[in-house]
Every structure is written in structure tokens, then in C-alpha cells.
Amino acid sequence: MGNLLYLIAVILIIGWAIGFFAYSVGSVIHILLVIAIIAIILRVIRG
């Protein structure tokens, strides 16, 4: 389960980077970044 969470976080960060530089959709991209950061923090805390 932890690996899946980490994978989702990485995918969200990559999606944020692509969206930020290519499309500039707006607040949706930043929400994805926040979700990814939270997932990474949870991964680090849980070990």
C-alpha cells in the first residue's frame, strides 16, 4: 500500500509539472501538487 501511495505521489508531481509548464490550467494543478506533497509526507512518516 505504501508503494502505491508513493507511486501516486510521483505521478501527481509529474502531472503538475507538465500541466504547470504546458497548460497553466490554474488552481487544479496546484491542488494536485498539494495532494502529492501530502502523500510524500505520509510516506516518510509511515516509514
Distance CA 32, CA 30 (A): 5
Total tally of structural domains belonging to the chain: 1
pLDDT, tens digit, 9 for 90 and up, residues 5-45: 788 888 888 877 777 666 655 666 677 778 888 888 888 88
Q: Which domain holds residue 17?
A: 2-46
Find the helix packing angle between 2-22 and 27-46, rounded to 10°. Answer: 150
- The pLDDT of residue 11 is 83
- The pLDDT of residue 26 is 63
- The pLDDT of residue 23 is 65
Does the model's pTM come out above 0.85?
no
Distance CA 25, CA 8 (A): 20
